[in-house]
Every structure is written in structure tokens, then in C-alpha cells.
A and B are shown apart, each in its own frame.
Chain A
Amino acid sequence: MIAEIGLFSLVLALMVAIVQGTVPFMGAQLGRPNWMALAVPAAVLQLVFIAGAFAALTTLYVTSDFTVANVVSNSHSAKPLLYKIAGVWGNHEGSMLLWVLILAVFGSAVALFGRNLPPTLKVRVLAVQGWISIGFLSFSLFTSNPFERVFPAPLDGRDLNPLLQDPGLAIHPPMLYLGYVGFSMAFSFAIAALIEGRVDAAWARWVRPWTLLAWCFLTAGIALGSWWAYYELGWGGWWFWDPVENVSLMPWIMGTALLHSSIVVEKRDALKIWTILLAILTFSLSLIGTFIVRSGLLTSVHAFATDPTRGLYILVLLAIAIGGSLILFAWRGPQITGGGFFQPVSRESGLVLNNVLLVVACLVVFVGTMSPLVLEAFGEKISIGIPYYNITFIPIMLPLIFFMALGPYLSWKRADLAGIVARFKLIGLVSLSAGLATVYLTEGGAVLAALAMAFAIWLLLGALMEWGERARLFRVPFIDSWRRIKGLPRSAHGMTLAHSGLAIVIFGMIGASSWTVEDIRIMRPGEWANLGPYRYTLEEVSEGQGPNYFSQTARFRVFEGEEEIAVLEPEKRLYPVQQMPTTEAAIRSGLLGDLYAVIGEPDGKGGYAVRIYNKPLVPWLWFGTIIMVLGGLVSLSDRRLRVGAPGKKRKSSPTPAPLAGGEVKATT
């Protein structure tokens, strides 16, 4: 019964989406307010129905209803409750349902909080959201019905892939989808603007918070996935340049570019066409990601089970959505006029450079991801791995980081280059010495690590100095600085946090890729191995049992000199239902790095294959990401950006900090 209610609810949602996509849109075209008035209730109703369907599926999972095929394939009665719930989106059909649910959440957010949007713009945005919804709801219903019954019903389910039974991965997909789908807002606004033929500062003010929100979720989602790979796959790697990872990175890079270019639209009324294109491309890359993961187009270690019919259906959706919007862009784009002239050295130029570098970086990842497919079409098979990205991606990132530190010092229209160079003399010197010190300390080890170290310090100090200057730290009494800090717009704090967060992430990357030491060997209980300054002693290996798995747990004691600094208990699990082993790495995180141990197969003679690693600075990856997301959220809480906050009712403009150039400093 619940399954049928869920299905019915989904069908109703599709009907509502069709109404939402057509009637109000025609109303806006023809100027009929009563038709347009349908948009808001339709968006809300759609959310109600999709949420109903989602609740139904969740209920089926929680109650282990094995008359439903999807539950049978992905759940088991002995599975812990958290994973029963996470199982809802741990599969293709359910994750599609989550996808449309999030789309509906965003849609009704515009409907409910967008009171001060120009009425036609709002209606058109909601109509575009309706079109996207029609596409994906019909995809769900026609090719991936999550409510399909199975007869006769089996006694128990086939369980969720054990690798996915993990708290990190339970929340990874919702975060990722909030990011992917969140970019649909920028897309819908871009399409609506193209239809209206007008882009102005108010438009940008509306697009920015949505983009920023999506960016925060996507950043968190990507980091969670990476964190999961780090501790669950047991190889200590955190990024593999796998196609599925790349398709989440590409919208992130584009979204970052969009975030920055929409500032120029808002403040200076320039870069409009470019920003529209970025908004379209960002969401297009999200869609392409959805397509690639579900079509079996590229090989990946973690794609969904694939089905050519589904692939074809999404491809048609892609062609309509992306093709349609790009044609619309080609047709209407030239009518949008830009404004705001600026000098080669200015905040605008800085942000253009940021955009160029980010787009090129995205292109490099795109080429790396797609070229195996393209070359295969010409009869050649290749695989592209880490070396490609090392020689292409990193050389683009380094200048990006270099200019990222300088950008915030540039004033709008025309900036004072000499003043900025003078400010950075000291930072340049510190960074250079840090780079050289790195070369010296690692005894001429990885040059790239030293280079990256110098750039990361450059960025971190640059970001902090800019913040300090605005607060006039150490120049005026501290109490005055504090007042200035409180007076700064939140988006200024946000930018400083996000930029320094990235610097911290880079430290983590350097540690993980260049300074990791590892040992793989056979150890018997009682034996020990030296690794760097530490001694790992394997004390014992014991057998155990969890709710739906059997386990072998090793106990390592780690000593530094004579002092015991950690006890590590890595586990190897066997999930009998899926006949699948998983490794649970034991990780001891400290400020300076991780101690990491994995237990492998027994050798039959009382020994075990073990892997032990010292991974310096890896926790900084996660810590830096948290800072970045925090930066985004702080910026989002800025009054001017707050979703639904009226632009004109601004009480007092935040106290601007004067800069050398005399320009009022804008915020990110």
C-alpha cells in the first residue's frame, strides 16, 4: 500500500511539474497575472508530493518491506537503522528520487522566499525549474521506478554494498546533490534572464546566494567522498582523478568561477553574458556528471549499475536541457549589453583572470575525463591517470593561487599595482624562504612540494594580511581594530576564511602526496616494524562479529622512542550477504598528521599482510575544507546576500575600510 501511495505521489508530482512548467510561463509571456499566480502553489505542491514519495520509500526501507524490488536489492533486515535510511539513496532509483526532492526544495524556496523578485522573473525561474523537474521525474517513473514490487517476495534482502555502509558515505550523496542541484538555481535564473533579455545587479544579487549555498554543499560533499575514500578503501589515498570524482570537481570549479564573476555583475554591471554562460555551464556539468555516473559511459571504480536505456534517456534530457539553453544563449545572448569599463589592473581584471584560470583548469579536467571516450571512438584505447593531471592541472593552479592572494587588494576600476607589490615584499620573502626551507628539510625531495608550500604560505599570509589591514590590526589600538572587525561585512570574513581554508587544504595535499611514508609487509602478532620516527607493534589479531558482518581486528601499539603514542585497531570485515570484504583502516589523527594502519589477508602461517603509513598533514585537508565551507556560510549570512533579504531596505551600509587607492573595498 505504501509503495503504491509513493508511486501515486510521484505521478502527481509529475503532473504538477507539467502545470508549473507551462501555465505560469505562458502567463508571463502573455501577461496574464492569474496564470502566473499558479507558479508558487505549484512549486510548493510539487515539494509536498515528492516529499511524500520520498517518505514512502524511506518507510519501506525502515520497515524492511521486501515486496519492493528496490528494498530487496539494497537492504537487509539485520542492517543498522542508519544504513537502512542511507540505503534509500545508496542506489540508482532512490538517489534519483533524492535528486528531484532537492530540486523541489530549491524550487519552493524560490517560491516562498522570493517575494521581492520581479514577478515575471520569478515565474520564469519557477517554470524552468518545472521543466527540469519534468525531465527527471519522468526519467524516474519511466526507467527507474523505485516502488516496483517483486513477486514472490524473498525472505530477506540482498543488503547494501558494504562499502557504502559508512557514516561518511551516508551523508555524502545528499550533500553532493544539494550542490549539484543547487546549481540549477543559477541555471534557471540564467535561462529566465535570457528569456527576459535583461541582466542587472538585482539579478546577480539573487543568483549569488544560491550559487554560494550550492558551492558550500558541493565542497562539503566532495570532501566527504574524499574522506571516505581515505579511510574506507584502505589505500590511504584521498583523490584518484577517477571520472566519477572528476565530474563532481568540474561543476565545483565552474561554480567557483561563477561565484566570482557574479560579483562583477552585481558591483560593476560587467561580465553579464559571461556570467550567464558560466551559470549554464555549471549546471550542465552537473547534469553531465549525473549522466556519466549512470550510463556506464566511462569506467570508474564507483559508478552505479548501468543500463543503456537509462543512459539514452538521460542523454536525451541532456541534449534538450543543455542544447536548448545553449541555443537560447546563442540567440538571445547578443542582446544583453554589458557595461562598466575597467583598467587592465583592477578588481574586475583580477576576477576575469580568476575566471580564465578556473575555466582552463576545468577544461583540463574535462579533456582528461573525456579523451579516453573520444580516442576510443577513433579506435584507440587509453587510460588517463595522475601523471596527466600533475603536468596539466597543477601548473594552472599555481598561478591561480599566486593571483588569489593579490586579488582582494585590487580596487574596482583601477588599482594601484605599485602599492600592492610593496605590500607583498615581506610575504614574498617569507614564502620563498619557506619553499627553500622545505627543499632543505626534505633533502632536496619533491620540488613540487616545495613550490606548493611557498605558494600556500603566500596565499595564507596574503589572505590574513588583507583582513588584518582592513581591521588596521597593530596600527590602531586593539579595541578600535575590534570595532572595525565587527563592522566589516560578513562576506569579507567569508572571503578571508575561504581563501585561507584553501591554503590549509594545500598544506594537506602536500603532506599526503609528497611526505607520506609507507610499509607493506607480512607481520605476525608480537612483531614490530619501524616507520619514520615510529615503531608499529602488532599485538594481536582477534575475531569478532558485528550486526551484519564478521570481523578480524588487529591491535597495533605505536611507539615514538619509548613512549606509546597510539593504539590502532584496523579491521577487516566480511559481509556474508554480499560476500564482500571491506577494510576499516585505523587512523590516529593529530595536528601534524595521521598514523594509519590496515590489516589484510592472513598468509596461512600465522602472519598477516599489513600496511602502515605515516601521513603528515592529512587532517589539514579536512580541516581546511571545513574552513572553506564555513567561509561560504559566513558570507551567506551577510545581510545583503541573505536569501530573501530585500535589497532596498538596507539600513546602513557596512563601514568600508579605506584602502591606499582610496576606493571603497568590495566584498566577496
Chain B
Amino acid sequence: MTKRLIFILPALIFVVLVGFFVWGLQEGRDPSIVPSAMIEKPIPEFDFPGEPLLERDGFSDKSMQNGKVIVVNFFASWCIPCRAEHALLTQLVEEEGITLWGINHRDKTEDAKEFLDRLGNPYERIGIDSGRGVVKWGVYGLPETLVVDREGRIRYHHRGPLVRAIIERDLLPVIRALD
């Protein structure tokens, strides 16, 4: 009997494997999405200084603990998708009244100023990150957007540019639930 079982074993293992394959083929599954390791974690310790030319204060982990829900957006003038999502961010601030703080990553001040002068400046504060500050946030490309709750805990993390569908399906419900 045991001998028989050994012969059947390869087929049984294969059945299990096919099960996973079928699961893997389901629609809408994107294996390339890397989830954030930051979700449900407190914000890291950091201090991004402000830049007078951009007319906004910088911020640190301390100043973020002010009892407000804050949307943190990583951007730069050289980042084309950032340009694309800028109008949507502005709209979010104007129509939904969200608190948006920006982190300007590895940018030239003049370029960043020109970027905001031309497209508008929805950010309440802008911290300057000239180095590797983004790494602490688990950010590895621009743009990325995170939502931090009243207790200073990261509750949402989106990689890549925001589009209307994602804002409506994911971002806004998170913010509303926290408010």
C-alpha cells in the first residue's frame, strides 16, 4: 500500500500545484505590486527642513503628531508622473479639504519653485529631502503617496501616480474613515 502511495504522490503534488496556478491566473491579480512594509507602522524619525524660496515650512516626525490626518506626497519637478497627478492633488485639497504635506525629493530649488509657480502649490508644508530620507519611508520611486492618521501611524501607501479611480476607490475612503 505504501508503495502504491509513493507512485501516486507525484500526481497528488501536481494537483496541488495546479490549484495554485489556477488561483494565480485570476483576473486582476498583479504579481508586480509590491505591498508597503510601512502600513500600520508609526512614521519614521526624520526632519525634512523647509526652503524659504518655496514659501512653506519643513516638517519632522514631531510636527506631524498634531492630531490631524495628513496625506504625505513625495514629488519632484523632474518627475513626469508627479506633474500628471498634481492637478488631482490640488483638487483633493480644494474640494475635499485634505491636509497635504509634500516632500520634495532630490530637486533643484529653482526647478521646484518653477514647478509650483506654474502648476499651483497645494502643499501646506514642504520638506526638502536632498538625500536618502525617502528610504526610511519605504519609498522607492516617485511619486508615492501615504496617509498618516492622528496617532502618527501610516494607514495607506500608494506607489505611482494617483488617478481618479484610485483616489475614489482607495484613498478617499481611508481618509474619511480616519476623520
A299, B31: Cβ atoms closer than 8 Å: yes
Does A315 lie within 8 Å of B8, measured CB to CB?
no
Whether the Cβ atoms of A326 and B31 lie closer than 8 Å is no
A285-312 interface mask toward B, CB cutoff 8 Å, 1 = contact, 0 = none?
A: 0000001000111110000000010011
**Does A323 lie within 8 Å of B14, measured CB to CB?**
yes
Q: In the assembled complex, which residues on chain A have CB atoms less than 8 Å from the CB atom of B18?
A: 315, 318-319, 323
Given contacts A296-B31, A299-B31, A334-B4, contact A326 B10 (CB under 8 A): yes
Q: A428 interface residue, CB < 8 Å from B?
A: no
Q: Which of B11, B22, B34 contacts A330 (CB 8 A)?
A: B11
Smallest Cβ distance from B163 to chain A, in angstroms? Answer: 21
Q: A297-B25, A308-B25, A319-B18 are in contact. List 5 more A-B contacts (CB 8 A).
A: A323-B14, A330-B8, A333-B7, A370-B20, A381-B35
B contact residues, total (Cβ < 8 Å): 22
Nearest Cβ on chain A to B102's Cβ, whole angstroms: 24
Nearest chain A CB to B40 CB, angstrom units: 14
Q: How far is the CA of A194 from the CA of B57 in the complex (A)?
A: 77
**Which residue of the partner chain B has the closest CB to A373?**
B24
Nearest-Cβ distance from residue A330 to partner chain B, whole angstroms? 4
- A150 within 8 Å of B by Cβ? no
A383 sits at the interface (CB 8 A):
yes
B14 touches A326 (CB 8 A): yes
Which residues of chain B from 13 to 28 have a CB within 8 Å of any chain A CB?
14-15, 17-18, 20-25, 27
Chain A: which residue is nearest B21 at the CB level? Answer: A315
Q: Which of A297, A329, A374, A377 is the one whose CB lies under 8 Å from B11?
A: A329
Assembly CA distance A372 to B35 (angstroms): 13
Rounded to whole angstroms, the CA-CA distance of A585 and B11 in the bound complex is 47
User: Which residues does chain B contribute within 8 Å of A311, judged by CB atoms?
Assistant: 25
Contact B14 A295 (CB under 8 A): no
How close is B30's CB to chain A, nearest CB, in angstroms? 8
A322 at the interface (CB under 8 A from B): yes
Interface string of A128-150 (1 = CB under 8 A from B): 00000000000000000000000
Q: Determine the chain A residues whose CB is within 8 A of the CB of B10 once the complex forms.
A: 277, 280-281, 326, 329-330
A261–B20 Cα distance when bound, in Å, is 31
Contact for A299 among B7, B23, B32, B35, CB less than 8 A: B32
CB-CB under 8 A from A333, the residues of chain B are: 7
In the assembled complex, which residues on chain B have CB atoms less than 8 Å from the CB atom of A296? Answer: 31
Main SS of the interface on chain B? helix
Asked if B3 is an interface residue, CB under 8 A from chain A, the answer is yes
- Decide: B25 and A372 in contact? CB cutoff 8 A: no
Q: Does A376 reach chain B (CB closer than 8 Å)?
A: yes
Report how far A334 CA is from B21 CA in the complex, Å.
29
Inter-chain CA distance A329–B33, complex, in Å, is: 39
Question: A372 touches which one: B11, B27, B31 (CB < 8 A)?
Answer: B31
Cα distance A373–B23 when bound, in Å?
Answer: 9
Interface string of B56-72 (1 = CB under 8 A from A): 00000000000000000
Give bound CA distance, A164 to B22, whole Å. 31
Do B7 and A291 touch across chains, with their CB atoms under 8 A apart?
no
Which among A308, A372, A383 has the greatest number of chain B C-beta atoms within 10 A?
A308
Q: Are B34 and A383 in contact (CB under 8 A)?
A: yes
Which residue of chain B lies nearest to A376 when distances are taken between CB atoms in the complex? B31
CB distance from B19 to the nearest CB of A (A): 9
Does A327 have its Cβ within 8 Å of any Cβ on chain B? yes
Question: How does the 8 Å CB contact mask read for A379-397 relative to B, with 1 for contact and 0 for none?
Answer: 0010100000000000000
Q: How far is the CB of A363 from chain B (nearest CB, A)?
A: 11
Which A residues lie within 8 Å of B20 (CB)? 370, 373-374, 377
Contact string against B for A residues 309-347, beta-carbon threshold 8 Å, 1 for contact and 0 otherwise: 001100100110011001101100110000000000000
Q: Which residues in B have their C-beta under 8 angstroms from that of A315?
A: 18, 21-22, 25
A329 to B14, CA, bound (A): 13
Q: How far is the CB of B166 from chain A (nearest CB, A)?
A: 18
Q: Nearest CB to that of B31 among chain A residues?
A: A299
